[in-house]
Amino acid sequence: MKTKIGQIVNRLLQAIPSIIGIVIISFLLTRSLPGDPAVYFAGAMADEESIQQVRVALGLDKGLIEQFFIYIQNLTQGNLGLSLNTGVSVLEEITTRLPASLELTFIGLGFAILVAIPLGILSATKPGSFIDHFTRVLVTMGVSLPTFFTGLFLIYVFYFLLGVAPSPIGRLDIIYLSPPHVTGFYTIDSLLANDMETFMASVKQLILPSITLGIFALAPIARMTRASMINALSSDYVRTAKANGLPQGMILVTYALRNSLLSILTTLGMVFSFLLGANVLVEKVFSWPGIGSFAIEALVASDYAAVQGFVLTMAMLFVVVNLIIDIVLTLIDPRVSIDN
């Protein structure tokens, strides 16, 4: 057990340099963006004088190093600055938008796992069979269809033609008001408020966009499950288990799947990270008020504070996700406890 705790602490410490690096890089990256925010935000008719006024107001007339220290100082106070593009503080934007993106991503990922892992297992047990070919086709489609296309296609069929899906205008239909803020996840918050109507409404809004994301996320999960299951199934311990006459189900789940879990989990971590990125287009198509659409608009406007806040949040999120995955792997990896 000691080794495990030691390893976990070690992992936590390793995250610190990454965080410092992220802070510096996010600052430098935003400053190297093309476009002059002062010009953009001075407005349509701004003359040189008013552009200069905006520049001073934004603190952009100061040197790069000075700007960096102001940035660090603000960061330590939890102040991420003001998003000029939306007129709201970046922290507030991120705290309201991140849950929206996460809720969508989690459900999309959940959908992908529910479909991909059984498919992967099935095609691994019967390589070359009909189910294996079906999985291959599905996986190929999943990766090759751009998310915005899948999204628009689903909207066209289920909303526009059939009229069974709710209108794609974000997290809730126009007639509903957001539930009282607790976690920021509308499904959870509405349940906490014991408001089944809003809960159902938010679930309905989630269906199409999360399927869109899920289809995209299917491929790597299914492929990794299949590959590692094939690997496990041809291993010595499975052969031994078979020779001992253990039941098929037990061999599959206890021996093969458990041993495949390490690589599947690692893939899940990666998929989660890039799903957050893929969110951008899905959010745009479904008018989802998430962090991706926020970042895109901020980029277009050279909105420094917003882009910095976004990069910082995403990078921190990656660090946290990787940490969690690492820790879980440490906990479930039998090899770690062997030397104990």
Partner 1 sequence: MERRDFMRVAAAASVLPFLRYLPTEAHAASRDGVLVIVSGHTINSLDLHRQGTNRPSYEVTVNIYDRLVRFGLKTLADGTISYDSTKIEPQIAKSWEFSEDRKSITFKIDERAKFWDGTPVTAHDVKWSFDRAVSLGGFPTVQMKAGSMSDPKQFVVVDDMTFRIDTLIASKLTLPDLAVPIPFIINSKVAKQHATAKDPWATEYLHKTPAGSGPYKIARWDAGQQYVYERNDDYEVGTKPAIKRVIVREVPSASTRRALLERKDADLYTDVPPKDVKEFKEQGKIKVSGAPVDNCLHVLGLNVKYKPFDNKKVRQAIAYALPYKEILSSGAYGRGEVMFGAKETKPSTIKWPQPFPYDTNIEKAKKLLEEAGFKDGFETTLSYNLGMADWEEPTALLIQEALKKIGIKVKLDKIPGANWRTAALVEKRLPMHLENFGGWLNYPDYYFFWAYQYGHLFNSSNYKNEEMETLVEKTLHMEVNNPEYEKLIKQMIEIAFEDVPRIPLYQPYLDAAMQKNVDGYSSWFHRQLDCSTLTKS
Site residues for partner 1 per CB under 8 A? 33-37, 39-51, 53-54, 57, 83-88, 93, 97, 152, 155-156, 159-160, 163, 167-170, 173-179, 193, 195-198, 201, 284-287, 289, 293-294, 297, 299-302
Residue with smaller CB distance to partner 1, 133 or 197 = 197
The tokens of 207 are what?
A: 């269906």
Note whether 170 and 286 are within 8 A (CB): yes
Instruction: Report, in Å, the least distance between residue 285 CB and partner 1.
Output: 5
How far apart are the C-alpha atoms of 100 and 262, rounded to whole Å?
29
Closer residue to partner 1 (CB): 149 or 237: 149
Please, which residue, 38 or 252, has the CB nearer to partner 1? 38
Cα separation, 59 vs 146, whole angstroms: 40
State whether residue 128 is helix, strand or coil: coil
Q: How far is the CB of 216 from partner 1 (least distance, A)?
A: 17
Rounded Cα gap, residues 227 and 288, in angstroms: 35
Bridge partners (DSSP) listed for residue 89:
82
Residue 170: count other Cβ atoms within 10 Å of its Cβ: 16
- For partner 1, the closer of residues 153 and 237 by Cβ is 153
Indicate the residue among 155 and 257 with the shorter CB distance to partner 1: 155
- Least gap, CB of 135 to partner 1 (angstroms): 31
Residue with tokens 């299914």: 222
Question: Cβ 191 to partner 1, closest distance in Å?
Answer: 13
SS3 32: coil
Cβ distance to partner 1 smaller for residue 200 or 253: 200
Which residue type is seen at 164?
V
260's tokens: 């495949």
In this complex, which beta carbon is closest to partner 1, that of residue 229 or of residue 282?
282
Q: How far is the CB of 247 from partner 1 (least distance, A)?
A: 48
Of residues 67 and 96, the one with the C-beta less far from partner 1: 96
End-to-end CA distance of the chain: 7
| Chain centre to alpha carbon of residue 183 | 17
Q: How far is the CB of 203 from partner 1 (least distance, A)?
A: 13
- Supply the minimum distance, in Å, between the C-beta of residue 148 and partner 1: 8
Identity at 87, one-letter amino acid code: G
Could you give the CA distance from residue 71 to residue 75 in angstroms, rounded to a whole number? 6
CB of 329 to partner 1, least distance (A): 37
Listing DSSP states for 308-319 in one string gives HHHHHHHHHHHH
Q: Check if the beta carbon of residue 188 is closer than 8 Å to that of residue 203.
A: no
Specify the DSSP element, H or E, that contains 301. none
Choice between 85 and 225, CB closer to partner 1: 85
Output the smallest distance, CB 290 to partner 1, in A. 9
Between CA 199 and CA 45 the distance in angstroms is 46
Specify the DSSP element, H or E, that contains 85: none
